[in-house]
Chain A
Amino acid sequence: MISYLEFEKPVAALESRIAELRAAAEGDDVDISNELERLEEKSADLLASIYGSLTPWQKTQVARHPMRPHFRDFVAYIFDDFMPLGGDRYYAEDEAIVGGLARLGDRRVMLIGHEKGHDTESRLRHNFGMGKPEGYRKAIRLMEMAGRFGLPVVTLVDTSGAFPGVEAEERGQAEAIARSTEACLALPVPMVATIVGEGGSGGAVALASAERVLMLEHAVYSVISPEGCASILWRTAEKAPEAAEAMKVTARDLLKLGVIDRIVNEPVGGAHRDPRAAAGALRDAIGEELDKLLRMSPESLLRLREDRFLGIGDNTKARRRAR
């Protein structure tokens, strides 16, 4: 059963009408196929038109949709094999950040990403995708290993942010994030990061400091959540829609700003309506990017990555990396 967002209510009404008609027509002689077809077309058009002009705040809700495909879904649909590796070797295994060896077609890669979970039990186990220092330190360990064994690094970013808690601070959340960012920048192998849902602040950057940063069409990426920004600058979280608009959190805005390199389109109605199709498009995009990068020397990869970040916000050269 799909769960509808507030702005999808008109579609929900149509879809439930279609379901009713279909149920009523069962065993009945009256031919309503024309009516059904008409309604289905109307519903599809409506969905396309709503999703064609989502506001930044609506996109934020799509990015956070409980049925949106998460790490485990992408693993299932994109990768041909996955061997999870656990632990940071210092303190614990943090399941908010998952990583391991994976195969993408005939390419061997190190896959790392946030996992939010899909039901109460798994959400708690994965801490809603909010990583702790040990999660970021595991990511560092896996990236360093990837560098040694010549495995390109693929990351899937999906977090509201790093975990804000007493123990996380105690164990050096800031240091872990900083070192993870540093580990990305030091990789002698290709790195392709994709913001698949929420790209929340430092907790996202720590896994997204790559030379190629992709973003799913309805994903969002920002320095602080719209609610957080609104409560600081507008002094009320209710202004989150305005904050989302002002901060430029959508893929299209970020492509223009040179912060991401490529938008991966989602099925009409969002990735949650057809996770397999969404994952298929992402699989193709990641594969293409990796193949381009795999031809480059470690030195050129490092330089490309460094220049990418040094160039952001550089007034002297108007960067246009769009291809």
Chain B
Amino acid sequence: MSWLTQIRKSIPFGRKRESADNLWVKCPNCSEMLFARDYEENLFVCPRCDHHGRVGADTRLAQILDPGYELLPEPSVAEDPLKFRDSKKYADRIKAARAKSPHQDAFQVALGAIEGHKAIVGVQDFTFMGGSMGMAVGQAFVNGAKRALEEECAYIVFTAAGGARMQEGILSLMQMPKATVMTRRLKEAGLPYIVVLTDPTTGGVTASYAMLGDIHIAEPGALIGFAGQRVIQDTIRESLPEGFQRAEYLHKHGMVDMVVERKSLRATLARLLDYLHPAQAA
């Protein structure tokens, strides 16, 4: 806490009920002060600069699915399999993350409909340990795909991750082939697998299920890549081009089908499902 915040906190304010903190939010991109309710109504997109803010799993599901969707239970996996410890114990880090989240890990799956088209929607949640992919994330992805196979409906996955969960070591790496087993099964079953790449999607997540969709949609400005920008700069000593690893750059280089604004996402997905899997109109 800086000295300024300490002083500010020590100054008593008259009305505590609705503090400025929850009434206003600052756009992380253009720093415009936004009325929180307007920002939320605008799907957490800045009305001034169009910056697409990061949203959690529940918010995303509510934005995309028709009301009345069902959240599926989170998988049970071995916890802290390596008994990992850096400056802190992994067991404590995950406990802290759970205390701040309504969920147990970084991937949520729901069964619902998008404008009447039945779908399984998986959302990776960057707010939970940077969305990092460990066994719980991998198993949740697998469970979502299994459910889509059972329901014979599309699987739509919103990716967001800083990469693999290092504290699970090699077991996090093994989630790459594991998830890929399921994308192959969806393909064989003729079910659409649609990936929506959101900010940021990097590392092993990008190098597995995020790049294996029938359709790749990216949110404007989303950072999407394999190697981290600092790693590239450090090891290669190249200056990075303008807009490098952003959604628009990936579109230009042929890695995503389209860059779609958040306000049009739901309709875009419904339209795609109408083309790829019309029989499933519920």
Beta-carbon contact of B139 and A313 below 8 Å = yes
Query: Of the candidates B81, B139, B183, B232, which one forms a contact with A166 in the assembled complex, judged by CB atoms under 8 Å apart?
Result: B232
Question: CA–CA, A315 to B81, complex, Å?
Answer: 10
Please tell me if A169 contacts chain B, counting CB pairs below 8 Å: yes
> Residue on A with the closest CB to B202?
A174
Residue A185 at the B interface, CB < 8 A? yes
Q: Which residues of A contact B84 (CB under 8 A)?
A: 246-247
Q: Which of B169, B181, B225 contacts A174 (CB 8 A)?
A: B225
Q: Does B78 contact A (CB under 8 A)?
A: yes
Cβ of A162 under 8 Å from chain B? yes
Binds A, one of B55-63, B95-103, B171-179, B272-280: B171-179
Question: Smallest distance from the beta carbon of A317 to chain B beta carbons, Å?
Answer: 11
Which residue of B176, B231, B232, B236 contacts A181 across the interface (Cβ within 8 Å)? B176
A246 contacts which chain B residues (CB < 8 A)?
Answer: 82, 84-86, 169
From the candidates B138, B171, B177, name the one contacting A184 in the complex (CB within 8 A).
Answer: B177
Residue A159 interfacial (CB < 8 Å): no
CB distance from B78 to the nearest CB of A (A): 5
Our pick among A173, A222, A229, A248 for the contact of B207 (Cβ within 8 Å) is A173
Residues 191-250 (chain B) with a chain A CB within 8 angstroms: 203-204, 206-212, 225-228, 231-232, 235-236, 238, 240-241, 244-245
Contact B166 A313 (CB under 8 A): no
A259 to B174, CA, bound (A): 8
Q: In the assembled complex, which residues on chain B have CB atoms less than 8 Å from the CB atom of A232?
A: 166
State the CA gap A166–B233 with chains docked (Å): 9
Per-position contact with B for A290-323: 1 when CB-CB < 8 Å, else 0?
A: 0000000000000000100110111110000000
Residues in chain B near residue A223, CB distance under 8 A: 164, 166, 168-170, 172-173, 204
Complex contacts, B254 vs chain A, CB 8 Å: 172
B residues near A181, Cβ cutoff 8 Å: 176-177, 180, 207-208
Please encode chain B, from 66 to 86, with 1 for each CB lying within 8 Å of some chain A CB and 0 for all others: 000000000011100110111
Chain A residue, CB-CB nearest to B235: A164
Interface residues of A in 149-175 (CB under 8 A from B): 162, 164-166, 168-175
Question: Once the chains bind, are A247 and B166 in contact (CB under 8 Å)?
Answer: yes
Contact A169 B183, beta carbon cutoff 8 Å: no
Task: Say how far B86's CB is from chain A's closest CB, in angstroms.
Answer: 4
- Given the interface pairs A246-B86, A313-B135, the reply to whether A169 lies near B227 with Cβ below 8 Å is yes
Bitwise interface map of A from 104 to 143 toward B, beta carbon under 8 Å scored 1, else 0: 0000000000000000000000000000000000000000
B255–A257 touching, CB < 8 Å: no
Interface pair B82/A172, CB less than 8 Å apart: no
Q: Which of B78, B170, B203, B212 contacts A182, CB < 8 Å?
A: B212
Shortest C-beta distance, A255 to chain B (Å), equals 11
CB distance from B249 to the nearest CB of A (A): 8
B82:A247 contact, CB within 8 angstroms: yes
Q: Which residue of A lies closest to B83 (CB)?
A: A246
Nearest-CB residue, chain B, relative to A308: B177
**A224 at the B interface (CB under 8 A):** yes
A–B pairs, 15, beta carbons within 8 Å: A165-B232, A168-B227, A169-B245, A173-B227, A174-B207, A174-B211, A181-B180, A186-B184, A201-B164, A201-B204, A205-B173, A224-B166, A242-B86, A246-B86, A315-B76
Q: Which residues of A contact B (CB under 8 A)?
A: 162, 164-166, 168-175, 177-179, 181-182, 184-186, 201-202, 205-206, 209, 221-224, 228-229, 232-234, 239, 242-243, 246-249, 254, 257, 259, 306, 309-310, 312-316
Q: Which 7 A-B pairs have the closest CB atoms?
A: A164-B227, A174-B206, A313-B135, A233-B86, A174-B226, A209-B177, A223-B173
Beyond the given A169-B227, A209-B180, could you list 19 further A-B residue pairs with CB under 8 A, ordered by the A residue number? Answer: A164-B235, A172-B211, A172-B255, A174-B225, A178-B211, A182-B184, A185-B177, A205-B174, A223-B172, A223-B204, A246-B82, A246-B84, A247-B170, A249-B170, A312-B174, A313-B77, A313-B139, A313-B175, A315-B76
